[in-house]
Structure 1
Amino acid sequence: MPKLTLKAAVAATALMAASSASAQDTFDFDQMTPDQQAAFGDAVRSYLLENPQTIMEAVARLEEMEAQQQVAVDQSLVDTHREALLDDGYSWVGGNPDGDFTIVEFMDYRCGYCRKASPEVAELVEQDGNIRLIVKEFPILGDASMVSSRFAIATKIVAGDEAYGQVHDALIALEGAPSEPVLKRLAGTLGLDGDAILAEMDSDEISGRIAETRALAQAMQISGTPSFVFGDEMVRGYAPLAAMQQIVAQGRATQ
């Protein structure tokens, strides 16, 4: 794993340099003569060979620092874009609209991990009873994703929030391609006007909503699905039910 080895070496060298600097206030590698730099390099190499665990300790510490920095960046992004996240005027709101804790999910109907997360998110919301769930349509996996999102958004515009919720659940479980006949049949099984929904799919209104959500995701450095905002905390990727329950509990404790 060359990348890890390089990262470990850099981190370990920095750790050694920092230790030396604390012992000698005047330590400055750039001010050393070539012979002194070579001697220092040999000393670091010798130390690491004799104490290889230092490499992994340094890598672990570096990753911890990077994680802490990412948390701070994510919290800043959530604060900056809170209004767009929580009240864009068009995203579907499920669960308890008056709940004391909000989860925002950026999802794609053709995403395997979104499909895996869907029943667990639903169970979390149902068991808790006090979670407000906001769904951001973020189709990034090709034409089938875009068609599915357009159909879902068109359903919300034509038939309302309850119909959207039904179509959302059906699309996340749909195995085949979302062709026009399939979507029309799906609408029919739910008692919806498939022709009206299909006619709305290519509207400028839907294009604008998808474009706005894409811009929001880009601004928040979200490039994959599912991506969540639990209160003030961002979670990039799938999290199992137990982990989500813990995140919600911790989030409530800090509100």
Structure 2
Amino acid sequence: MAGGGLAVAAALGVWFWQSGSPSATAEASQAALAAGIDAKEQAAIEAIVRDYILKNPEIIPEAVEILQTRQKAEAINEIRAGIEAPFNGTAFAGNPNGDVIVVEYSDFACPYCKQTTADIDRVLKEDKNVKVVFRELPILSEASNDAALMALAAAKQGKYYAFHKTMFATGRPTPSTIENAAREAGLDLVEARRFTKTPEAQKEVQNNIEIARKLQFTGTPAWVVGNDSQVGAVGYDGLKEMIAKARGSK
């Protein structure tokens, strides 16, 4: 049997063994016949594949991991522009032309997001070729949403990162802590309050929530770096690993 035919048959054998459904079996048989494989050859290959998997079950989680990695990359690539382009062109820190873009989805009421500020500062201090884009994902409370809208207002005034760091340092979002952080970051409060009520601000938050759903983010912080995504406080070492992986794939 030709090598290509054997590969096709092996794949069909795996499918047959895993599914076991009558429809899948019938489709596998038809595909095998189309590839020039008779029923006897197909049965022999299926037996070999089944035996190999039973003797080497570790290949199943390995295959699942490879599939999940591929699916992550496909999902990110479909909406990459909406992920990596900073709001108003200003909601980022680091090198605007960095060769690696780190995207963080965060909630100002999330204590784990607060922890990441030191990790990001350290990365930016040590790696001058990284750009960190911040996206608002207010999922914990109404106050989270208010703080997110004020962060977008800060971006409109070119003071996003100052507000971002100050808001996390100030404490959990409340009307007073949000206003204090905005004032400390140097925002025009009248203009900032006006902007938080605009459709543009509301739409940005909603877009972030929709993208988070598409990427199956289950909480904050969540990260996208290159073709990889992670959920949780990955820490400084985790960020460095994601950056190195993205840089190495270029």
Question: TM-score, normalising length from structure 1?
Answer: 0.71
Partner in structure 2 of residue 51 of structure 1: none
Are the equivalent residues in 2 in contact too, given 1:188–1:194 (CA < 8 A)?
Answer: yes
Question: What number of residue pairs does the alignment pair up?
Answer: 205
C-alpha separation in 1, matches of 2:226 and 2:64: 21
Partner in structure 2 of residue 105 of structure 1: 104
C-alpha separation in 1, matches of 2:45 and 2:77: 42
Partner in structure 2 of residue 38 of structure 1: none
Per-residue CA distance 1:193-236 (angstroms, 9 max, x = gap)? 22331232222111111111112222222232111111221122
Deviation at 1:61? 4.7
Are the equivalent residues in 1 in contact too, given 2:108–2:114 (CA < 8 A)?
Answer: yes
Pick closer, same or farther for the CA change 1:65–1:113 going to 2, 3 Å: farther
Per-residue CA distance 1:36-67 (angstroms, 9 max, x = gap)? xxxxxxxxxxxxxxxxxx99x84x55433322
- Residue 98 of structure 1: SS of its match in structure 2? coil
Q: Which amino acid aligns with 2:217?
A: I
Are the equivalent residues in 2 in contact too, given 1:185–1:194 (CA < 8 A)?
Answer: no
Partner in structure 1 of residue 44 of structure 2: 25
Q: Which amino acid aligns with 2:154?
A: T
C-alpha separation in 1, matches of 2:119 and 2:178: 25
Per-residue CA distance 1:116-148 (angstroms, 9 max, x = gap)? 222102211221010011111111111121011
Pick closer, same or farther for the CA change 1:197–1:137 going to 2, 3 Å: same
Partner in structure 2 of residue 20 of structure 1: none
1:172 aligns with 2:168: yes
- Structure 1 counterpart of 2:194, from 191, 199, 217: 199
Structure 1: any 5+ residue segments left out of the alignment? 1-13, 18-23, 29-53
Deviation at 1:188? 2.8
Q: Which amino acid aligns with 1:253?
A: G
Deviation at 1:89? 5.3
C-alpha separation in 1, matches of 2:46 and 2:242: 44
Structure 2: any 5+ residue segments left out of the alignment? 1-16, 21-42, 48-53
Deviation at 1:95? 0.7
Partner in structure 1 of residue 223 of structure 2: 228
1:83-232 to structure 2, matched below 5 A, reads: 83-87=81-85, 90=88, 92-157=91-156, 159-160=157-158, 163-179=159-175, 181-232=176-227
Are the equivalent residues in 1 in contact too, given 2:170–2:181 (CA < 8 A)?
Answer: no
1:241 aligns with 2:232: no
Partner in structure 2 of residue 65 of structure 1: 63
Question: TM-score, normalising length from structure 2?
Answer: 0.72
Pick closer, same or farther for the CA change 1:88–1:131 going to 2, 3 Å: closer
Deviation at 1:240? 1.8
C-alpha separation in 2, matches of 1:185 and 1:113: 22
Are the equivalent residues in 2 in contact too, given 1:154–1:200 (CA < 8 A)?
Answer: yes
Q: Which amino acid aligns with 1:63?
A: P
Displaced runs of 4 or more, over 4 A: none
Q: Which amino acid aligns with 1:168?
A: H
Are the equivalent residues in 2 in contact too, given 1:85–1:104 (CA < 8 A)?
Answer: yes
Pick closer, same or farther for the CA change 1:186–1:237 going to 2, 3 Å: closer
Pairwise CA RMSD of aligned residues? 2.7
Q: Which amino acid aligns with 2:84?
A: L
Q: Which amino acid aligns with 2:153?
A: A
Q: Which amino acid aligns with 1:65?
A: A
- Structure 1 counterpart of 2:248, from 238, 249, 253: 253
Q: Which amino acid aligns with 1:182?
A: T
Q: Which amino acid aligns with 1:117?
A: T
Q: Which amino acid aligns with 1:71?
A: T
